[in-house]
Chain A
Amino acid sequence: MNNAISQFRDAMRSAGLEPPDVLEAGKLYRFPGAGKRPANRAGWCLLFDDGLGGCFGDWSSGLSNTWQAKRNKPFSRAERTAFARRVEAAKQQTEAEQRARQTEAAKRAAAIWNAATPTPKTHPYLARKCIQPHGARIHKGALTLPVMDFTGKLTSLQFIATDGGKLLLSGGRKRGCFIPVAGEMGNPARVLICEGWATGCTLAEDEPTALVLAAIDAGNLEPVAMAARRRWPSAELVIAGDDDRLTAGNPGATKAKAAAIASDALLALPQWPKDAPEHLTDFNDLAVWLARGEA
């Protein structure tokens, strides 16, 4: 069995996941997804009782793999069927757990959101970013923002500390969900989708008639853009990407372009004036820099 556990771990590592330290056969484990914080539980794995196979995945990236132990003879048809059944059962179990976690997180989000207070315009983060509160609330001193899905259901919250540090409510659903920044969801003519809330506020103030959605991070731009396209087939979508010029591969621009292509949207990236410092990355950075007359 130890050999099977070791092989199973290797398979997970080769898929980019770091398996939990302790692993027992027959038990479903949750652990941080690829590149996630220690508290994250997007990763999951199950080694079957007999140690002959297992499955694992990562909800945050959509990864879902199976693993089979090496053996001397090929699986019979009956064995293959049984294996597929066990994989399906494991997936259903993790999905059920995931849904339960998300439901629980949504309840906590609603409770926190309902108890939170309006944000004063003088909040240091707003002042630093030169933006209005746009419906943000305060919870335990942090700016609190609702994360919603396209049915209008609150799924999670984002907290922004005074120093700008950001946290998502543990267990809440984020993929394909967004922070509504400004505008009416009914039948918008123009929808602006960006990564962060502050960028969204800047765009909303620049274009007061547009519906503005913040996708929270670059990896979530495409799911949000695709869902927006399904919801508003004839609207003009604009993906307002970040320009991570100093990061290898420029993930902000790359994922914004992919989202624009996938959702048949227009793409906009910040157009930097010649003397703009290189650490500026998004439309909020650009607007703040222009507003302060640093050009």
Chain B
Amino acid sequence: MSADLLKTAAPPPEDWPELVPLDAPNLPRLDLVHLPGWAGDYARAIATDTETPPELAAGMVLVACATAAARRLRVMVKPGYFEPCNLWAVVALPPGNRKSAVQSAATAPLVAWERDQAAILEPEIKRITSERKTLEARAKEKRNKAAKEKDNGKAAELAREAADIEAELPDIPMQPQIWTSDATPERLGALLAEHGECMAWLSSEGGVFDLLQGRYSNGIPNLDLVLKAHSGDAERVDRGSRPPVFLKGPRLSIGLSPQPDVLRGLAAKPGFRGRGLLGRFLYLLPPSPLGYRALQSKPVPEGVRDAYAAGLRAMLDWEPVTDEHGEQRSHLLRLSDEAYAEWYAFAQAIEVQMQPGRELEHFTDWAGKAPGAAARLAGVLHGIKHAHGTPWEAAITAETMTAALEIMAVITRHSLAALDMMGADPTIAAARLVWDWIERGRLDRFTVREAFNALRGTFPRVAMLREALDALEERGYLEVTEPLRDGPGRPPSPIVRVRPEIARAWR
């Protein structure tokens, strides 16, 4: 009779390390307490209303405020070193996360400002348009007369008069525009030139990257203008078919909320990584709340909405400073000594981490710009704090700088993960390729030799494959064991075993 001796047979208990996902490791959350006053209140309220992660609202509100701040402010970190206040932010979330609703809420005051400005300017535009038409008719009349005049002297006189009138034709003011959601890099240059060299490029999709990649220019990316519009460097665009564009200090803010899939493989796009495009963005990868939402939204309180609209409007209405030549310039924000000390400590810490073998070794393109981004962020936060006053009259305090650095600390972790996701760290990119192969085949066990044979096209040497496997092992995805020799001859290939809970789920 059976005693059922093996009734307790079960998979052996194992001590696997904690699984560190390749795509979204356990990232710190952004605390909206670091966003001051009306901006923080509004970001919190939007996140509650839309049941979206606070990082999404924070990112979009910050870019909206940076768009306003960049028109009038720049930060002097130290004598000779200045940073404009425009920001580039990417908040990646899967579809269905109401990204458009959040973006629309954050940018609503910008839209309202454009509408109001258009209303204010409309009579002027009509008047100048009419005046211009009249002058054009007069110039035309003079030219016709000159053409028919038989006396050469009189003809020349009439032609000169027509030219004088044309030279004096008044420019018709443009309908003011401060943001766009779809423009080629070339059109962006024209928009910047037409609208005070300050624009925002806001989109809840990833099509911006397609445009940057040259969707409308035969796949040849035209990044120069966009890159210079991040740093505020002068740019001249001369194209045969279009009027030349000269920009003295273009400032472009970018706020994108694409799907995480859009980010994958961006580092491999020509020029994106090498020319520093990807290193200029501040990334946030919040976890998707889908499936855990209460679906009982609490609308944004009217007072909070009004305060946000008033604050952003006040920032947009800051008067520019005019220099002795009558040209408009940005106001200069100075750091207090304590704020500078905080910023300097952060810059030093980042610098050290870029050494070979340290955490930022593979992310120097991003990390090299992180201190500058921190200064910009401090400038924007300072602007928010002093929206209804004159921020250029007060120095950026240590408290504001600390808030900026707290935000940057979170953004740093998220950005490294995002750049990992894009394939910026070659080892992680390789690990992802290997993991894709494992997942496709639902392999719970294989030898390194089998993997090498299957992936020979991707990994020409076993050592490269082993690096990728080691990265997966470090993150708890698999375990590589050297099997015991079971006799003379060639040693058996190391065995790779996939984390049992993952392999069981595949079955």
Contact = CB atoms under 8 A, between A and B. Distances in A.
A176 B486 contact: yes
Given A222-B484, A238-B9, A267-B12, 7 more contacts: A223-B486, A227-B486, A240-B6, A257-B12, A262-B497, A286-B5, A290-B3
A267 B5 contact: no
Listed residue (B2, B487, B495) with the most chain A CB atoms within 10 angstroms of its CB: B487
A186 interface: no
B85 to A, nearest CB: 57
| The 8 residue pairs across chains A and B that have the minimum distance between CB atoms | A95-B488, A268-B9, A62-B485, A266-B9, A267-B12, A260-B12, A268-B6, A176-B486
B10 interface: yes
B4 interface: yes
A98 B488 contact: yes
A283 interface: yes
Interface of A: 62, 64, 91, 94-95, 98-99, 173, 175-176, 192, 202-203, 206-207, 222-223, 226-227, 238, 240, 257, 260-262, 264, 266-271, 283, 286-287, 290
B488 A267 contact: no
Interface residues of B, number: 24
A264 B5 contact: no
A25 B470 CA distance: 42
Nearest to A199: B5
Interface of B: 2-6, 8-14, 444-445, 481, 483-489, 495, 497
B486 A266 contact: no
B11 A91 contact: no
Contact of A206 (B6, B12, B488, B497): B6
A280 B408 CA distance: 62
Contacts of B12: 257, 260-261, 266-267
Contact of A95 (B5, B13, B444, B489): B489
20 contacts: A64-B485, A94-B488, A95-B489, A175-B486, A206-B3, A222-B484, A223-B486, A240-B5, A257-B12, A257-B13, A260-B12, A261-B14, A262-B495, A264-B445, A266-B11, A267-B10, A267-B12, A269-B8, A283-B6, A287-B3
A264 B483 CA distance: 14
A287 B5 contact: yes
A22 B483 CA distance: 34
B505 to A, nearest CB: 15
Contacts of A286: 5
A35 to B, nearest CB: 16
A238 B489 CA distance: 29
A207 B489 contact: no
A269 B11 CA distance: 12
A153 to B, nearest CB: 13
Contacts of B6: 192, 203, 206-207, 238, 240, 268, 283
Nearest to A57: B485
Contacts of B8: 268-269, 271
Contact of B5 (A64, A176, A203, A226): A203
B5 A202 contact: yes
A176 B11 CA distance: 22
B172 to A, nearest CB: 77
B482 to A, nearest CB: 10
